[in-house]
Amino acid sequence: MKILSIETSCDETSVAIVEDGRKILTNRIYSQIDIHQKYGGVVPEIASRNHVTKLPYIIDDALSETHMTLAEVDAIGVTNGPGLIGALLVGLSAAKAIAYSLDKPLIGVHHIEGHIAANFLQFPELEPPFLTLVVSGGHSHLVLVEDYQTFKVLGRTIDDAAGEAFDKISRVLGFGYPGGPAIDKAAKLGNLDAIAFPRVFLDKSEYNFSFSGLKSAVLNYINGMKMKNEPINPNDVAASFQMAVVEVLVKKTIDCAKHIRMDKICMAGGVSCNSLLRQMMTEEAAKAGLSLHYPDPILCTDNAAMIGAMAYYNYINGVVSDLSLNGIPGLKIGTR
């Protein structure tokens, strides 16, 4: 079964064709990063307008790369939430128009379930159940994937998402947007023990996260140094901050897996590109005897192939949408 999928929840305009939820035939991604960079973050209205102008061409690209016509596609998958409402509606309108005009099934996909499903593309043998650390621009979740349709959130951030913290700290250090890749790079040149930033574990028996206290600690450090007229080494700040985030993410994930007796863990979302997170999670999972999977970076950040993978599992489990499918900015995981 070949599903054409569309992802426009934020600032990537992406169209993919995925076969049977596992095989990428094409995954075209147009990133608007250059456009939003000068504003220091994504401007929703500008994102929507760019989706409108670019999406038709990207659909054409995906079809021409695979030498397919729309008539040869079996179904249309589309992200319907969570995300920016204007941005979501662009992809959704296109998906509905294609599904209606060709009389093909329309399948709504939860963006975060899509991030998790990126693992199915990278690892064709991987099957639930497994525990996933989802860390992205807007989410930090520990999700137990019981089967292809049952997602249980065991922990979540009570304030900022991990990616949001990376983006904010990058901005104050002058590294710009998006912050994650910039901090990752700068941290390689810095000393991760240089500044003792707090590790926020909250109640140790809980799997929730909090990053706003760490963010304030970094800002206080920077302001304090400025007031004392002392020099700041941005690479040291980046390295120390990154270590404070990663240590908590890794410890909570491993503790949670042990607690629920789950020996398979995955990572998903843009922050799972982070090189220190990949390295430390690999080491700690090995020590604990857990298997670990995470996709290539291009499948961790926003892309339509992950939406096509999840759309397939929705479809074969009877979860098909109709033309009343709407964009839902705050769509909860496990709901449609």
**Binding annotation:** 111, 115, 134-138, 167, 180, 184, 274, 302
> Is there a contact between 116 and 267 (Cβ–Cβ < 8 Å)?
no
- Does 178 sit near ligand ATP (CB under 6 A)? yes
Minimum CB distance to ligand ATP smaller for 63 or for 235: 235
* Residue from 118, 184, 234, 243 binding ligand ATP (CB under 6 A): 184
Say if strands 264-268 and 291-293 run parallel, antiparallel, or are unpaired: parallel
- Does 160 sit near ligand ATP (CB under 6 A)? no
State the minimum distance, in angstroms, from the CB of residue 11 to Mg ion. Answer: 4
d(CA 245, CA 162): 7
- Does 7 sit near ligand ATP (CB under 6 A)? no
180 binds, among Fe ion, Mg ion, ligand ATP, none (CB under 5 to 8 A by kind): ligand ATP
In the 8-state DSSP scheme, what is residue 297? H
> Of 77, 78, 67, 70, which is closest to residue 25 (Cα–Cα)?
67
State the minimum distance, in angstroms, from the CB of residue 210 to ligand ATP. Answer: 17
Which residues bind to Fe ion, rule: CB under 5 A?
A: 136, 302
Size of the site for ligand ATP (CB under 6 A): 25
State the minimum distance, in angstroms, from the CB of residue 269 to Fe ion. Answer: 6
Annotated binding-site ranges for substrate: 134-138, 167, 180, 184, 274
* Residue from 155, 163, 234, 295 binding ligand ATP (CB under 6 A): 163
> Is there a contact between 32 and 50 (Cβ–Cβ < 8 Å)?
yes
- Does 190 sit near ligand ATP (CB under 6 A)? no
* Residue from 86, 91, 181, 308 binding ligand ATP (CB under 6 A): 181
State the minimum distance, in angstroms, from the CB of residue 118 to Mg ion. Answer: 14
The Cβ-side half-sphere exposure at 184, using a 13 Å CA radius, reads 17
Which residue type does 248 have?
V
> Is there a contact between 30 and 13 (Cβ–Cβ < 8 Å)?
yes
Minimum CB distance to ligand ATP smaller for 93 or for 275: 275
d(CA 311, CA 3): 8
Burial class (CB in 10 A: 0-12, 13-18, 19+), 107: buried
> Is there a contact between 78 and 109 (Cβ–Cβ < 8 Å)?
yes
120 binds, among Mg ion, Fe ion, ligand ATP, none (CB under 5 to 8 A by kind): none
Minimum CB distance to Mg ion smaller for 184 or for 302: 302
Binding mask 241-280 for ligand ATP (x = CB under 6 A): ----------------------------xxx-xx------
Minimum CB distance to ligand ATP smaller for 257 or for 331: 331
- Strand pairing partners for 321? 106
State the minimum distance, in angstroms, from the CB of residue 136 to Fe ion. Answer: 5
- Does 139 sit near ligand ATP (CB under 6 A)? yes
> Of 113, 20, 144, which is closest to residue 75 (Cα–Cα)?
20
Rg (CA), the chain: 20
- Does 10 sit near Mg ion (CB under 5 A)? yes
d(CA 108, CA 206): 32
> Is there a contact between 284 and 235 (Cβ–Cβ < 8 Å)?
no
The torsion angles phi and psi of 223, rounded to 5 degrees, stand at: -65, -40
The residue ranges that bind Mg ion (CB under 5 A) are 10-12, 302
